[in-house]
Amino acid sequence: MKALTITVTIIFILTISAHNIMCQVKTTVNKNVEKSIDKTFDNVGKGLNNLLKKKDKKKAPEVKASQEVPAEAKPQPAQEAVKVAEGKVPHVAEQTPMLVWSKYDFVPGDKIIFEDNLIGEENGEFPSRWDLSSGTIENAQFGGENVIMFRSSQSRIVPYLKNPKIDYLPDVFTIEFDLYLYSGAITIYLFDSKNQSTPSGQTALDVTGEYMFLPPAKSNLPDGGSIRKKWTHISVAYTSGKMKAYIDETRLINIPHLPFNPTGISLYTGWTNDKEPIYIKNFRIAEGGVKYYDRFLQDGKIVSNGIRFDVGKATLRPESMGVLNEIYKMLSDYPDIKVSIEGHTDSDGDGEFNRTLSEGRALTVKKQLESMGITSDRLAYKGFGESKPFGHNDTPEGKASNRRVEFIKVDSIN
């Protein structure tokens, strides 16, 4: 009996030892596996970090304009002053041609008649640059930007001008604004519905989510497209009786003889509500000028307010392509021409920062023309900031005139 007890005890001890050994082996294996997995993930993580760092090095820093951002978001001018002192300019990413807008032929007028970029407007108040003809319209914030909101049906506004009863539209003019539609439509009347009488034969331009209509012309968006629930750019060009109208890069209206004389502007919406309002922003009326090459021969330079950039950045907006396509055509047709591309700003914000911003924007234009096929030995660039004002800085129209890009004829490129 004693021998049997000893035998059972030994077997029990051996069983416990074997179990402990197996647990230790399993623990050791698990630890090794975990270490291997951790090491693998560490290597993957390091690889991703290195990849992201490489991408970050290639990514161009944004150049922000102090005149175009809220005071609390303004960049530190001291940092930009250091860049200028060190001879550095804002880095602009390599760009490919903007193929989507490559055939865009709208060129805005160069003399600003009316401008409203909604800077300084108070949310919930009536837009200060406009007058109310009917309905309910007020300032709002949409997507972090100031916009004009058409809140009710049959709402109508007109530009608030000193002498609105007179015909303030010249023989050559352009209209531009950004539009956001949920539903319904916006109508552009080419007379001031509050202060002017209705012209004989007057017809209006309707913009819906799917088409443009100005009797007798009506055109649908290509490929059954829609502009609902997204920002789109509306452009209108009038030249001594001829009228063209665009949605983004597509020309939808082309009338050879408009049956009346445009005298002013009214914006109207027949149907909308608080849940599906209509928004507009960046509204501009400008007087047109002579063709670019004729102007170049006459003045030795081209002054353009139609080259636009993202707010506070040196990034070209697509609607700039109308101007750049014309500049490209001129430079292609006359291969001996060399130009200096010169950027300018208004006087808002820090002077050194504005100069740096204007230089970065001029460089962006140069790179865009190069990407279209103009060789770099024909193009120079400079930035003058606010130092060479074209208009007064105490009105929106004057500031808009000062935010410009000039193409100056030069004999050689240094």
pLDDT in tens, 127-167: 999 999 999 999 999 999 999 999 999 999 999 999 999 99
pLDDT recorded at residue 290: 63
Average pLDDT, the chain: 81
pTM: 0.72
Q: Kindly tell me the burial class for residue 228, based on how many C-beta atoms sit within 10 Å of its own C-beta (0-12, 13-18, 19 or more).
A: middle
50 Cβ contact list (under 8 Å, min separation 6):
none
pLDDT recorded at residue 391: 83
**Domain residues of the chain, as ranges?**
111-288
pLDDT recorded at residue 8: 40
Residue 69 has pLDDT above 80, yes or no: no
Structure tokens at 148: 């004009």
SS3 252: strand
Q: How confident is the model at residue 93 (pLDDT cuts 50, 70, 90)?
A: very low
Q: How far apart are CA 224 and CA 380, in angstroms?
A: 43
Which of 280-289, 290-299, 388-397 tops mean pLDDT? 280-289
Buried b (16+ CB within 10 A) or exposed e, 73-92: ebbebeebbebbeeeebbeb
- pLDDT-above-70 percentage for the chain: 75
Q: How far apart are CA 60 and CA 277, in angstroms?
A: 36
The CATH architecture of the domain made up of 111-288 is: Sandwich (2.60)
CA 271 to each of CA 187, 232, 256: distance values in angstroms, whole numbers, following the listed order: 11, 19, 30
pLDDT tens profile 311-356: 778 999 999 999 999 999 999 999 999 999 999 998 888 889 899 9
Residue 94 has pLDDT above 50, yes or no: no
Structure tokens at 156: 């109508």
Buried b (16+ CB within 10 A) or exposed e, 180-193: bbeebbbbbbbbbb
310 Cβ contact list (under 8 Å, min separation 6):
317
Structure tokens at 340: 């200096």
Please give the helix or strand (H or E) that residue 244 lies within, else none. strand 242-247
DSSP string, 309-347: B-TTSSPBPGGGHHHHHHHHHHHHH-TT-EEEEEEE--S
Q: How confident is the model at residue 31 (pLDDT cuts 50, 70, 90)?
A: very low
14 Cβ contact list (under 8 Å, min separation 6):
none
pLDDT recorded at residue 89: 45
pLDDT tens profile 42-59: 443 444 344 334 334 344
192 Cβ contact list (under 8 Å, min separation 6):
158, 159, 164, 165, 263, 264, 265, 266
pLDDT recorded at residue 294: 80
pLDDT recorded at residue 406: 96
Q: How confident is the model at residue 292 (pLDDT cuts 50, 70, 90)?
A: confident
pLDDT recorded at residue 289: 65
Residue 311 phi, psi dihedral angles, 5° rounding: -60, 125
pLDDT recorded at residue 414: 78
pLDDT recorded at residue 71: 35
Q: How far apart are CA 245 and CA 252, in angstroms?
A: 6
pLDDT recorded at residue 189: 97
Residue 112 has pLDDT above 80, yes or no: yes
Q: How confident is the model at residue 84 (pLDDT cuts 50, 70, 90)?
A: very low
Residue 386 phi, psi dihedral angles, 5° rounding: -100, 5
Residue 411, amino acid: D
Structure tokens at 173: 């003019």
DSSP string, 169-220: --SEEEEEEEEEBSSSEEEEESS-TTTSPPPTT---EEEESSEEEETTEEEE
Residue 409, amino acid: K
Structure tokens at 388: 């060479």
For 25-29, 104-108, 254-258, which range has the lowest pLDDT when averaged over its residues? 25-29
pLDDT recorded at residue 91: 47
Query: pLDDT higher for 112 or 31?
Result: 112
pLDDT recorded at residue 60: 38
Mean pLDDT of 57-82: 36
Q: Kindly tell me the burial class for residue 60, based on how many C-beta atoms sit within 10 Å of its own C-beta (0-12, 13-18, 19 or more).
A: middle
CA 110 to each of CA 58, 291, 304: distance values in angstroms, whole numbers, following the listed order: 36, 11, 6
Other C-beta atoms closer than 10 Å to the C-beta of 339 total 24
For 30-44, 348-362, 381-395, 396-410, which range has the lowest pLDDT when averaged over its residues? 30-44
Residue 115 has pLDDT above 70, yes or no: yes
Mean pLDDT of 366-392: 94
Residue whose entry in the numeric block shows the structure tokens 């250091």: 82
Mean pLDDT of 280-295: 87
pLDDT recorded at residue 32: 45
Q: How far apart are CA 129 and CA 111, in angstroms?
A: 18
In the structure, how many helices (H) and strands (E) does the chain have?
6, 19
